[in-house]
Amino acid sequence: MIDMPIAKSKMKQSSILHKLRLLIVLTFALMVGLLLVPELAAQQRLLKLAIPLGLPADTWSYYVPRTNPMTEAKIELGRKLFFDARLSADGNVSCASCHDPKLAFGDAKPVAEGISGKLGSRNSPSLLNAMFYPNQFWDGRAEGLEDQAIQPLTNPIEMGNASYDQVVARLKTLPEYRAEFLSVFGGEVTIARVGQAISAYERTLVSGDSPFDRFNAGDQSAMSDAAKRGLTVFRGRGRCSRCHSFSEALPFFTDFQYHNTGVAMNDPRYDKLSRIAFDAVDTEQAKDVIDRLAQQPGGEELGRVRFSYVVFDIGAFRTPTLRNIALTAPYFHDGSARTLADVVKFYNEGGKMNVAREWDLAPLALTDQEQRDLVAFLESLTGKLPESVVSQNR
Ligand code: HEC
Ligand code: HEC
């Protein structure tokens, strides 16, 4: 009983002390906060990308998702991740191993070579202007860049990690990444944020201002006579623009669709698999049969049908953009065409016959001159790299 007043006064004292301490902490936090404001603003500054001649700025903006705005700090984080081999299981493979800025973000190999020299089955596509594809990969199996960007991490023949958790755990042990994720995203490393940062970087990889773009903008001297004749063949007798289509809003020389030109016939296992798939589509067993075929050796050559189950997509692959095509040999999803002249020869022969070949591909009977002109036209589609990439390449 006697102790009570003392205890009360102690309590009062300690509550005053407590409030004082809180005040000091708050004042301190406010001061630090004020100091950080300019830096925070810098972290959240949106990139103003210079869109090159020939590419529509509207289309570019359209392809930047509202959920993943392009802040400068995020792009820088994405660039670091893109070039960091510590993202792979053995520390030797980065995204740039197969998408090398010095090779127009391809690798100049027929098919990709991943972890421990393991060979994939597909040609590494250039990432220049890849952001404009509504679906990613030769068969369009990824929805968008965010979805695509994390898949190589756990691909056993690309970067070889056992799981996304493994990648995230490794990044969390690296203090520089912990700090940077916190400042860019206001939180810890997650696999979705890894995908967002890399995608933001990839959306800076736009390329235009090619001789064709300058010609198209009115400079008659920008393209050689051979290239101009090639353009006529491209649109006319070559019938290339039927699939490699061009419009002001989508000037990428692709219809973003999937076609069977017969490239898959290069794989001797494809013919049998495609015939079984052909008999199965439009039946109730279609999905079961095609899922099973897809797992067999050579099953990847079935292409788009593995995801769509429709007859036209058997052996069908996405029409690639032709911008910068002269920089990204060898060609086709399997890297089977060594040069552009080989590609033109392939079309001149009508592609390769198979059960689901596009119905109106036919031998073109182009003269040698027309074929050379077509190649000259394709070469006129080589654009400029973004300035940020040029300065890094130096
Ligand atoms: C071992 C080589 C290799 C590595 C490493 C690699 N890629 Fe790829 N990349 C490929 C190949 C091969 C394809 C095409 C695969 C397919 O279509 O099935 C591809 C496709 C892509 C595409 C789709 C482009 C298009 O035209 O559809 C994007 C985007 C991409 N990679 C980004 C990345 C990113 C980001 C990383 C790192 C996280 C990465 N890649 C790591 C080889 C690689
Ligand atoms: C029926 C649609 C279609 C037509 C017509 C067509 N293409 Fe293609 N093109 C494609 C598809 C689909 C691919 C990818 C094929 C594959 O790898 O399996 C492709 C690939 C290419 C490639 C290789 C691209 C790369 O990144 O590897 C070039 C070059 C090319 N076509 C040029 C032409 C030219 C030149 C013509 C006209 C002579 C033409 N195409 C006609 C659909 C077509």
Quick: pLDDT tens for 242-298: 999 999 999 999 999 999 999 999 999 999 999 999 999 989 999 999 999 999 999
What is the Cα–Cα distance from 51 to 72, expressed in whole angstroms?
A: 16
Please give the backbone phi and psi of residue 164, each rounded to the nearest 5 degrees, phi first.
-65, -35
pLDDT level of residue 32 (50, 70, 90 thresholds) = low
pLDDT at 37: 58
CB-ligand 2 contact for 239 (6 Å cutoff): yes
Percent of the chain at pLDDT exceeding 70: 91
Q: For 62-106, what is each residue's pLDDT tens digit?
A: 999 999 999 999 999 999 999 999 999 999 999 999 999 999 999
Copy the structure tokens of residue 323: 């911008």
Distance 207 CA to ligand 2 centre (A): 20
Distance 241 CA to ligand 2 centre (A): 10
Copy the structure tokens of residue 374: 């077509």
pLDDT level of residue 40 (50, 70, 90 thresholds) = low
Place of tokens 């973004």: 386
Q: Which ligand is nearest to the CA of 317?
A: 2
* Per-chain mean pLDDT for the chain: 92
Ligand 1 atom index nearest CA of 123: 12
Lowest mean pLDDT among 15-24, 88-97, 148-157: 15-24
What is the Cα–Cα distance from 55 to 68, expressed in whole angstroms?
A: 21
How crowded is residue 141: how many other Cβ atoms within 10 Å of its Cβ? 15
pLDDT level of residue 42 (50, 70, 90 thresholds) = low
Listing DSSP states for 103-172 in one string gives GTTB-SSSS-B-GGG-B-SSPPPP-TTGGG-SSBSTT--B-SHHHHHTHHHH-TTTT--S-HHHHHHHHH
CB-ligand 2 contact for 347 (6 Å cutoff): yes
CB-ligand 1 contact for 200 (6 Å cutoff): no
Please give the backbone phi and psi of residue 388, each rounded to the nearest 5 degrees, phi first.
-60, -35
Question: Is the CB of residue 299 less than 8 Å from the CB of residue 272?
Answer: no
pLDDT at 22: 72
Ligand 1 atom index nearest CA of 139: 17
CB-ligand 2 contact for 325 (6 Å cutoff): yes
What is the Cα–Cα distance from 160 to 142, expressed in whole angstroms?
A: 19
Q: Is the pLDDT of residue 7 over 70?
A: no
| Distance set, CA 119 to CA 14, 62, 91, 263, 315 (Å) | 69, 36, 17, 19, 21
Kindly name the residue from 113, 158, 180, 202 that is annotated as catalytic.
158
pTM: 0.90
Burial category of 228 from C-beta neighbours within 10 Å (exposed 0-12, middle 13-18, buried 19 and up): middle
Domains of the chain as residue ranges with CATH: 57-206 (1.10.760.10), 211-379 (1.10.760.10)
Q: Which of 81, 83, 87, 99 to mutate to test the pocket of ligand 1 (most atoms within 8 A of CB)?
A: 99
Q: State yes or no: is 370 an active-site residue.
A: no
